[in-house]
Structure 1
Amino acid sequence: MATIYDVAKAAGVSPKTVSRVLNDDAPVGRDTRKAVQDAMSRLGYVPSNAARVMRSNKSGLIGLITGAISNTPDHGDPRGLPELYIVQGVQDVFGREAKTLMISDTGGHSDRVPSLVSTFRQHRVEGLIYVADYHRQTRFEVRPGDPPVVLANCYDTVGTPSILPDDRICQHRLVARLIAAGHRRIGYLTLGASMDATRLRTEGYRDAHAEAGLPLDPAMIQEAYRDDHAPMTAALGRLLALPEPPTVICCGNDEMAMRPYGLLRTRGIEVPQRISIAGFDNYRAIAETLFPPLTTVELPYREMGRQAARRLLDIIAGTAPAATDPVRVPGPVVWRSSVTGVAGAAGT
C-alpha cells in the first residue's frame, strides 16, 4: 500500500507538500498540486482518514440509530415506514453537506442503544440522531464525552434537542377544513388513549370546534384502535346510533380509515354521499387506492428528518439558535373525494 512518502518521491516534492495538498490547509502551486494528484492516482494512494480525524477532530461521520430497517414492513403495511421516511429526510441534508451517514439498526431491541452509541463514539462520529418508531417519550442517556444528540419522532424529560410532528396543529387543520366544508357533526375514531398523538390530536379537534364556536359532543369521540375489528365496529355503531349521527368521521390514521369504508357499505351507507371519511398520515398506498380516495392530513416525516439533520449541523458548528424543545413540524391537509361538502356551506 502506497504511503505519503511514496507519493512525495513520485511527485518530486516533500512529504509536507503532499500533506498540504491532502488537507488543503496551505497554498500550493497549481503545477505542484497536479503533480501530487497525478502521483496519488498512479500509485492508488488512499489517505488515512483516521490520521486526518486525529488532526482535525472532524470525521465527517454522523451516526443514526433507528429500527427502520428491521421494522420495514412487507406487502404495503404502513407500520414501520415513518422511521424510514425520517431517515430519508436526514440523508437529504447530509448528502448535500458531504457528511457520511452511518446507520445502525436496533433490530427491535431498545436495550442495544447504549452499545450502539459506544460503537459510534469509537468511530468518532461528530453527532448522533436517534429516530423513534412513533411519537413518544424516550430515555436516551447522554453521557459526558458523547457526541451531540438530536431526537426525531420522540422526546425526553431532560431537554435533549428533539423534532416532533405537530399532531395538534395537523388535526386542527383537518377539522377546521371539514367545518369550512359545512360539517357540524364530526365523529372522531381515535388511536389508543395512552398515546401522545391521541392526546394532542384530540386537543386539535377540540381547538377547531372552539375556534368555530361549535358545541362539542363528547359522544362523537370514540377510541377504536386495536388489531382486531371489534373496537372499530363497536365504536362506529355507537356513532351511528346517536340521535344526530356524524356527517363525517375522522380516523386516527389511514390504516384505520379503511375499515369504516367496508363497515358503512355493509349497512347500505355510501361514502361520501351519506357519510364522509377522513384519515391521518397521508400514507399514499392506502389513501390513493381507496375508493373514493381518502382525504387525510400528512405527517411530515421527511421534513422532520431534514430539520433534525439541520439542527444537528448547527449544534456541531456551534451556531444553533436558542430553541424551546421540542420543535414541532406541521403538515398539510390533503383533500380527496372521500369528503364532500354539506349542502349550503360556503365553498361547497
Structure 2
Amino acid sequence: MATIYDVAKQAGVSPKTVSRVLNGDAPVGARTREAVEAAIRALDYRPSSAARTMRSSRSGLVGLITGAISRGDGSAGPSGLPDLFIVQAIQRVVAEAGMTLMIADTGGEADRAVELMATFAQHRAEGLIYVADSHQRIEDLDPRGTPLVLANCFDAAGTPAVLPDDRAGQRALVERVIAAGHRRIAYLTLPEGMIATELRSRGYREALEAAGIAFDPALVIEGFADHGEGPRPYIASALDRLLALEDRPSVICCGNDELALRLYGELRDRGIRVPQEISVAGYDDYRVISETLYPPLTTADLNYRGIGEAAARRLLALIAGAPAPTEAEVIGGPVCWRQSVTEH
C-alpha cells in the first residue's frame, strides 16, 4: 500500500507538500498540485482516515449508551417499550448526517454509563446520547466536555433532554374516549412512583375535569404491580374491584399495551366481550400487541421513534456549535383509534 512518502517521491516534492495538497491548508502552485494528484492516481494512494482525524477535531463519531441490547428480548414491561426503538431512530438520523454511531450497552448496570462515556471520550466521539428505558430522572453524568443529550430521561444538572409528553398523551386518549360517549372511565395505572404514572394520571383527571365528569377514585387502580403473585393475578383482583362497583365502568384504560393484552385475556376467561360489553384502551402503540389483538387496540402512541429523532437532531446541533437549550424538548404522539373502544 502506497504511503505519503511514496507519493512525494513519485511527484518529486516533499511529504509536507503532499499533505498540503491533501488537506488544502496551505497554498500550492498549480503545476505542483497537478504533479501530486497525478502521483496519487498512479499509486492509488488512499489517505488514512485515522491520520486525518488526528489532524482535526472531527472524528465523525457519535457515542450512544443504552441498555436496549441486553434487554432486547422484545418484551414490554412496566416501563413501556424497549428503548431499542429510540436507538434505531437515532441511528437513522446520525447516518443521514454522514456520521457513525458507536453503541455501548450497560448490561443492566446503570452505573457503567460514566465508564462508557470515558471510553467514548478516548475514541474522540464528537457527541454522546444516553437512552433510558423509561421516563425517569437519572444521576448527573460526566461527559468530560463532550456534548451530551439525554433521551427518555432528565437530570438535575439541566443536561439537554428529550422526553415523552405523557400528560398530554393520556389526556388526548381520555378526551377521545369521552367524545365516543363514555362517562365511566376506569384507569389501571403503571406502578406508583413512576414519572409516567404521575403525569398520565394528571392527564386522565384533566380530561375528566374538562368534560365536567367528576373524578371517582374507585375507578383508578394500580394495575401493573407484582406483589409476589405476578401481574395477571393482580389484574384479576383489580378487575374484580371494578366489576363489583354499582356503577361499573364502560371502558378501562390501561397503563400500557402489555397490561391491556393481559386484561383482554382476563376478560375473555370471564366470558366478557371486548368491546361489546366493556371497552379497553392501552398506551404505547406497541404494534406487535395493538395491531394483532382482536379487536385491534385503541391506544396512545408514545412516539419512541420521535424521541430518538429529536435527540439525534439536538445532538447534531450541539456538535455544530448551537447553544444548549435551557428546557427539555417534549415529544407527543397521536391517539390510535381502533375497534377495542365502542361508540356509545
TM-score (norm 2): 0.90
What is the match of residue 183 of structure 2? 184
* CA shift digits 1:313-343 (9 cap, x unpaired): 111222246441x22110111111111110x
Please give the secondary structure, in 2, of the residue aligned with 1:249. Answer: strand
What is the match of residue 68 of structure 2? 68
Q: 2:169·2:200 contact (CA, 8 Å) conserved in 1?
A: yes
Q: How does 1:246-265 map to 2 (within 5 A)?
A: 246-265=249-268
Change (3 A) 1:155 1:12: same
Identity of aligned residues (%): 57
Change (3 A) 1:24 1:301: farther
What is the match of residue 121 of structure 2? 121
TM-score (norm 1): 0.89
Q: How does 1:274-289 map to 2 (within 5 A)?
A: 274-289=277-292
Q: 1:169·1:204 contact (CA, 8 Å) conserved in 2?
A: yes
Which stretch shows the higher mean deviation, 212-221 or 1-10? 1-10
Please give the secondary structure, in 1, of the residue aligned with 2:83. Answer: helix
Change (3 A) 1:15 1:284: same
Change (3 A) 1:251 1:32: farther
Q: How does 1:141-180 map to 2 (within 5 A)?
A: 141-142=141-142, 145-180=144-179
Q: How does 1:308-323 map to 2 (within 5 A)?
A: 308-320=311-323, 322-323=325-326
What is the match of residue 339 of structure 1? 341
Change (3 A) 1:39 1:131: farther
Q: How does 1:1-348 map to 2 (within 5 A)?
A: 1-10=1-10, 14-25=14-25, 35=38, 37-39=40-42, 42-43=44-45, 45-49=46-50, 51-73=51-73, 76-79=74-77, 81-142=81-142, 145-226=144-225, 227-320=230-323, 322-324=325-327, 326-342=328-344
Q: 1:72·1:81 contact (CA, 8 Å) conserved in 2?
A: no
Task: Report the alpha carbon displacement of residue 265 of structure 1 after superposing the two structures with TM.
Answer: 2.4
Please give the secondary structure, in 1, of the residue aligned with 2:231. Answer: coil
d(CA) in 2 for partners of 1:329, 1:88: 17
Q: 1:61·1:100 contact (CA, 8 Å) conserved in 2?
A: yes
Change (3 A) 1:9 1:287: same
Q: 2:72·2:82 contact (CA, 8 Å) conserved in 1?
A: no
Please give the secondary structure, in 1, of the residue aligned with 2:86. Answer: helix
Task: Report the alpha carbon displacement of residue 158 of structure 1 after superposing the two structures with TM.
Answer: 1.4
Which stretch shows the higher mean deviation, 259-268 or 170-179? 259-268
Unaligned runs of 5+ in 2: none
d(CA) in 2 for partners of 1:285, 1:93: 24
d(CA) in 1 for partners of 2:255, 2:40: 59
Unaligned runs of 5+ in 1: 343-348
d(CA) in 2 for partners of 1:33, 1:277: 72
Which stretch shows the higher mean deviation, 286-295 or 23-32? 23-32
Give 1:336's aligned amino acid: R
Task: Report the alpha carbon displacement of residue 297 of structure 1 after superposing the two structures with TM.
Answer: 0.9
Q: 1:86·1:302 contact (CA, 8 Å) conserved in 2?
A: yes
Give the CA RMSD over aligned residues: 2.2
d(CA) in 2 for partners of 1:278, 1:297: 8
* CA shift digits 1:258-297 (9 cap, x unpaired): 1221222233321001111111111111111111011111
Change (3 A) 1:89 1:219: same
d(CA) in 2 for partners of 1:188, 1:116: 40
Give 2:251's aligned amino acid: V
